[in-house]
């Protein structure tokens, strides 16, 4: 009886695979060979970041120290905690400062949530710097990785801008004067400095317009740019031949 049922199920599945509905959902057959496995990885939205085959040396801890993966994990932590913080935050004066006080004294686990977001931001800046230093030390900027090195530099800048724009959101004295000093430094740039400062602040002083613009940059524009660049970065790592491994010299060192 069991054998008959198994045969019936197999026949039913074989019949379904030949239907147009099945083929419209599943574009390829089962991944039972190297070729079909490769096609399945290349054609998948998420798996195409991963290589079909990996060099054994690239699996060693010293190849990357997982600095890039740790940076990605911290970015995900920041995204989740940032979304949760948005439920309790209003990007307007003086509500922003009151919301920070509510997170500290009123909201359950509010201090933990805010500190987790803040510490993850500090760690992400440190990890991205460490990741770039390690890649540079191992020659990751050399051909054929030049393009991905530029993407990494852009990700570093986006990380710094994310940290800087989030600095103003508590709307306290430290945030106010830090952004004031930073935008004054920007205004010292020749020709375009004053225009960039006016664009960032929405005026000539650090006011409510600046708070709103920094909020939009921090929670919408910069995270979207970071997400796109991270996707390109991971994709190019695999397309350029995987992680950069320092070659051995004639002595085998």
Band (pLDDT 50/70/90 cuts) for residue 189 is very high
Query: Rounded mean pLDDT of the chain?
Result: 87
Higher pLDDT, 41 or 76: 76
The answer to whether the beta carbons of residues 86 and 72 sit under 8 Å apart is no
DSSP the chain: -HHHHHHHHHHHHHHHHTSHHHHHH--S----SHHHHHHHHHTSTTGGGS-SS--TGGGSGGGTTTHHHHHHHHHHHHHHHHHHHHTT--SSTTHHHHHHHHHHHTSTTHHHHHHHHHHHHHHHHHHHHHHHHHHHHTTTTSTT-HHHHHHHHHHHHHHHHHHHHHHSTT-SHHHHHHHHHHHHHHHTSTTTHHHHHHHHHTSSSSSHHHHHHHHHIIIIIHHHHHHHHHHHHHHHHHHTTSS--PPP-TT--
pLDDT digits (tens, 9 = 90+) for 191-215: 999 999 999 999 999 999 999 999 9
pLDDT digits (tens, 9 = 90+) for 8-42: 777 887 787 778 777 777 767 677 778 887 777 77
Which residues are CB-neighbours of 140 under 8 A, at least 6 positions away?
Answer: 148, 149, 244
Residue ranges of the domains in the chain?
Answer: 2-49, 64-239
Domain 64-239 CATH superfamily: Cytochrome Bc1 Complex; Chain C (1.20.810.10)
pLDDT digits (tens, 9 = 90+) for 128-164: 999 999 999 888 888 888 899 999 999 999 999 999 9
pTM: 0.81
**Is the pLDDT score of 47 beyond 80?**
no
- Nearest Cα neighbor of 214 from 226, 203, 228 is 203
């Amino acid at each position: 009886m069991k054998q008959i049922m198994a045969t019936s199920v197999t026949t039913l599945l074989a019949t379904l695979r030949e239907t147009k509905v099945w083929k419209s959902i599943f574009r390829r057959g089962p991944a039972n060979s190297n070729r079909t496995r490769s096609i399945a990885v290349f054609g998948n939205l998420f798996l195409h970041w991963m290589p079909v085959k990996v060099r054994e040396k690239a699996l060693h801890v010293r190849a990357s120290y997982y600095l890039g993966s740790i940076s990605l994990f911290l970015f995900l932590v920041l995204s989740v905690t940032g979304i949760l913080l948005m439920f309790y935050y209003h990007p307007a004066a003086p509500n922003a400062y009151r919301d920070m006080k509510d997170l500290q004294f009123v909201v359950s686990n509010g201090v933990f949530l805010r500190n987790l977001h803040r510490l993850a931001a500090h760690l992400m800046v440190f990890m991205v710097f460490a990741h770039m230093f390690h890649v540079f030390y191992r020659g990751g900027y050399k051909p054929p990785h030049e393009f991905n090195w530029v993407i990494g530099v852009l990700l570093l800048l986006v990380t710094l801008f994310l940290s800087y724009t989030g600095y103003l959101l508590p709307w306290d004295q430290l945030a106010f004067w830090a952004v004031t000093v930073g935008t004054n430094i920007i205004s010292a740039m020749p020709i375009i400095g004053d225009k960039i400062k006016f664009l960032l602040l929405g005026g000539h002083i650090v006011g409510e317009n600046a708070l709103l613009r920094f909020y939009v940059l921090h929670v919408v524009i910069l995270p979207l740019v970071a997400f796109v660049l991270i996707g390109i970065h991971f994709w190019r790592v695999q397309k350029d031949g995987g992680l950069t491994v320092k070659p051995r010299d004639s002595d085998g060192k």
